[in-house]
A and B are shown apart, each in its own frame.
Chain A
Amino acid sequence: EIVLTQSPATLSLSPGERATFSCRASQSISSSLGWYQQKPGQAPRLLIYDASSRATGVPARFSGSGFGRDFTLTITSLEPEDFAVYYCQQRSTWPLTFGGGTKMEIK
């Protein structure tokens, strides 16, 4: 099973700042990684797939990068609605797995 390790566990930032989330895979997964956003009481929302492709309707301030084992989700100029938990997910190998999540809170 591929283990995805997300860091940091918590990110404290202010609106307008830049956010950077990290996801490291236990083995190479090429570019087979997605990112999701989840707000309290809501279902997850797909933001990024194949490491760097934005899902339909996702604002341009969200971008993804990485290949192999190390991946990054970046949000430029945070909006108030961006404060949420972010998860990475790999689809390279069964079983599909998610990272433990990074919670971004308002500083």
Chain B
Amino acid sequence: DQQVKQNSPSLSVQEGRISILNCDYTNSMFDYFLWYKKYPAEGPTFLISISSIKDKNEDGRFTVFLNKSAKHLSLHIVPSQPGDSAVYFCAAVNYGGSQGNLIFGKGTKLSVKP
């Protein structure tokens, strides 16, 4: 049973426009959420995170929104750049229980076209 779901396997966006990547989770015990970016033949790299006590966190072009009642989070990239083309993984963790075991979604492949 998938606890973290990324229902869109791929997303194509024009350069300069907004990219919105979505993630849903089922476990209400998750208290911290992260987004990782992965280029081919490289390991995932941390992008941005949000605690369950917040509903928004912003870092430059990247903003993560958390809707706890809907068990949904989204990553907004504005403006999108060709270098943002990568696979984006949503991850969640229950620090109160599992001592840092990140549960990952299957990822969304973002393509930003010039």
A, B co-complexed? no
